[in-house]
Amino acid sequence: MRPPIDQSVIFTYTDDLKAGSRFFREVMELDFVVDQGLCHIFRLNDASFLGVCALPDRPTSQVGVTITIVSSDVDGWYDFLTSKGVEYVKDPSHSSRFNVYSSLFISPHGYRIEIQNFDDMHWHQKRIE
């Protein structure tokens, strides 16, 4: 039997830890929960976390990485973040291809961040065999 997964942390990387951390803390207003010196970890919810690190031996490309935050209020996030000066590359819209309503912006340290809501609110309870 597979051991449990209790939480998850997605780490992103930057040359400017102060700016990356400030964006998550002040603009997105995420709770700053762990300071590891070169890495800062922020709470998305009780089981999901987002980290930003300034490590010398880190991956240096953001290509192919999208951080998706699932929220029932995509428009609320859009209004909240645009009021703080965040510029979106994709305004909230529906994708019939993926059955989601989503928006997209680029973080100050170059990562694509998508705020998304699935059409099927039970998507996370399914299991495909």
Question: What is the rounded distance in angstroms from the CA atom of residue 25 to the CA atom of residue 50?
Answer: 11
* 14 located within any domain: yes
Q: What is the pLDDT of residues 87-115, one digit of tens each?
A: 999 999 999 999 999 999 999 999 999 99
> What single letter denotes the amino acid at residue 97?
R
Give the per-residue pLDDT at 59. Answer: 77
> What single letter denotes the amino acid at residue 32?
F
Residue identified by tokens 């010398």 is: 56
Q: Which residues contact 116 (CB under 8 A, 6 or more apart)?
A: 68, 69, 70, 71, 74, 100, 101, 102, 103
* 66 located within any domain: yes
SS3 state of residue 68: strand
* 126 located within any domain: no
* 43 located within any domain: yes
**Average pLDDT of the chain, as a whole number:** 92
* 3 located within any domain: no
Looking at per-residue pLDDT, the higher value among 17 and 56 belongs to: 17
Which pairing describes strands 8-13 and 100-106: parallel, antiparallel, or unpaired?
A: unpaired
Q: What is the pLDDT of residues 63-83, one digit of tens each?
A: 778 999 999 999 999 999 999
Sheet with 66-70: strands ordered across: 66-70, 112-118, 100-106, 88-95
What total number of domains does the chain contain? 1
**CATH number of the domain where residue 62 is located:** 3.10.180.10
* 92 located within any domain: yes
Nearest alpha-carbon partner for 44 in 18, 3, 77: 77
pLDDT level of residue 61 (50, 70, 90 thresholds): confident
Domain encompassing residue 40: 8-120
Which range is least confidently modeled, 50-54, 56-60, 108-112? 56-60
Looking at per-residue pLDDT, the higher value among 128 and 97 belongs to: 97
pLDDT level of residue 116 (50, 70, 90 thresholds): very high
Give the per-residue pLDDT at 123. Answer: 87
* 90 located within any domain: yes
Residue 19 corresponds to which tokens in the numbers above? Answer: 């700016």
* 67 located within any domain: yes
- 62, pLDDT greater than 80: no
